[in-house]
Chains A and B, each alone.
Chain A
Amino acid sequence: MAKHLTRRQLLVGAGLSGLALHAPGLFAMHGNTQLPAPIRRAVPSTGERLPAIGMGTWITFNVGSDPYLIEQRTKVLKTFFDHGGSVVDCSPMYGSSADVLGRSLDALGARDQLFAATKIWTGDESATREQAESSRRKWGVERFDLLQVHNLLGWQGHLETLKAMKAAGEVRYLGITTSHGRRHGEFARIMETQPLDFVQLTYNVLDREAEARLLPLAQERGIAVIVNRPFQGGSLFRRFQSEPLPAWAGEAGVSTWAEFFLKFIVAHPAVTCAIPATSSVEHMQENMAAMYGELPDEQQRQRMVAYVRSL
């Protein structure tokens, strides 16, 4: 009984206690003494297993130098790490988000738990390294785990440089991104012809265009998939939160709408992780609950689609 807990164990324990209070059904099957195992997915190119729920920073971490809001976002990031999160995604396009992220990481001292993913977002195809270095300084990391070409902007030049950077060990993985279902044709052609580790795209219970071509192609080509806009920019909550969950939600491992939307996504076999963004600790707890417990099977996923369509 006199065993000392490390800070990490204490934080994870405290976080999971909060999660258990929030979603007790998740933990019932594991008893009180055994921590549940988070859902992880392998990156096809290396086999590295990543937590299935990551964190986006679009809008939510762009708070400038406001000390109060930086402290609030630091609490959100702490909650994310406490619940077993790792993948954090950002972009130079997101205003002050990278600076805020760096300050939050400084405050938490949690870079060892981080899978750092950002993007290259410039039309100047010769500025890849310069922008990556600028982002690296803001994040305060030794190197990025993943660098992605944002929305295919100048992708030819950037991708060549990223390949060279990966070969030199300056970055571990490379990828490309799109959002809102844009430019899927060109996106697929790049997936077919380029040695990508990751793609990032929009996929959720209503925006399912990726199911037709991109997700099967990712499986076929062994490319990891990060899913952005899992809540359709929050509009899924605005549309459906006042509605009841289906009676069979528990069978699919779902106890909240956040779990409903996220588990629908991460249950797809091609998906590596989803990256919801939030500025609220409570919402982060809800999001991270989707990384635990049962996942819906394919039949249940189809029922999920039919259910939201019926509302």
Chain B
Amino acid sequence: MSDPAWLSYSLQDFLMFGPEVFLRLFARINQDLWPWQLLVVPLSLIVPWMAGRPEIVWRRLALVIVAAAWILSGGGFLVNYFGEINWPAVWIGWAFTVQGGLLAALAVTRGCPRLSIGRTGWFAAFWLAAVVLLPWLTVVQSGEPTTLALFGLSPGVTVAASVLLVGGFGRATFWLLLPVPITWVLFSTATYWALQTQWLLLLPLATLASLVAGVWLSPRPVQSPGPQSAHHGPVRR
């Protein structure tokens, strides 16, 4: 790595495809998976409602939807579509499926983390903004409505929305779930920068904002009770 020749490479030198080809991937996956979008979109929209329910079964289902989105966007878009023109995307795609597996395991064992009381509205607002507004960035970039990048089908929107939940997990799980989204943010930023697709750069930015918002939305640690109230022995009056 000390070879000075490496210093003469730019990001563009590693780019193997053009913006037209990349944006066409969204049109192709939409075309190939139609009409499953009619199921995927409503499912993505009801996640905030499920996550805000007190019953664990709904919070499990919410996390199952998110897990499935990671597996679909990783194994589908990244491995089968993007991987054809950019081999590193295949490895990231498999990392997405592993992340989806992890989230599925968490869904079974714990369910979706409880949201901070009083902030469920904010969570719904952030989530809906991510799954409703961010898909249009590819459309704005390409000028083609067929390139809509839906949650569950495209990795960028899937990551940006679902990292809202990561902050709600305990510290160990939080760090376990963080590497793949961060890798995706770095990889996609480099890709969009090299492609000079400026609108798409908003996706990794939104992901980072979503991650911060997720931490803010997570329940604050319960204040440590005083020694008197912690006493659970028999009370003498």
Binding site for B on A (CB under 8 A): 58-60, 62-66, 68-69, 93-96, 180, 182-183, 233, 279
Contacts and interface: CB of A to CB of B under 8 A. Distances in A.
Which 5 residue pairs of A and B lie closest in terms of their CB atoms, listed nearest first?
A: A64-B84, A95-B16, A64-B85, A62-B17, A95-B85
Interface of B: 5, 8-9, 12-13, 15-18, 20-21, 24-25, 28, 81, 84-87
Given A64-B21, A68-B24, A180 B13 contact: yes
A63 B85 contact: yes
A304 B85 CA distance: 37
B8 A182 contact: yes
B196 to A, nearest CB: 11
Given A95-B85, A183-B5, A279 B17 contact: no
B24 A69 contact: yes
A182 B86 CA distance: 24
Main secondary structure of the interface of B (DSSP, over half): helix
A179 to B, nearest CB: 9
B20 A279 contact: yes
B15 A59 contact: yes
A134 to B, nearest CB: 15
A65 to B, nearest CB: 6
Given A69-B21, A182-B8, A62 B13 contact: no
A65 B20 CA distance: 14
Contact of A62 (B8, B12, B85): B85
15 contacts: A59-B15, A59-B16, A60-B18, A62-B16, A63-B21, A63-B24, A63-B85, A64-B21, A69-B20, A69-B24, A95-B17, A180-B8, A180-B9, A183-B5, A279-B20
B136 to A, nearest CB: 22
A207 B81 CA distance: 36
A226 to B, nearest CB: 19
Contacts of B18: 59-60, 279
**Residue from the set B9, B84, B86 with the largest chain A CB neighbour count within 10 Å:** B84
**Residue from the set A58, A68, A93, A95 with the largest chain B CB neighbour count within 10 Å:** A95
A95 B87 contact: yes
A69 B25 CA distance: 11
Nearest to B83: A64
A279 to B, nearest CB: 7
A158 to B, nearest CB: 19
A69 B81 CA distance: 14
Contacts of B85: 62-64, 95-96
Nearest to A67: B28
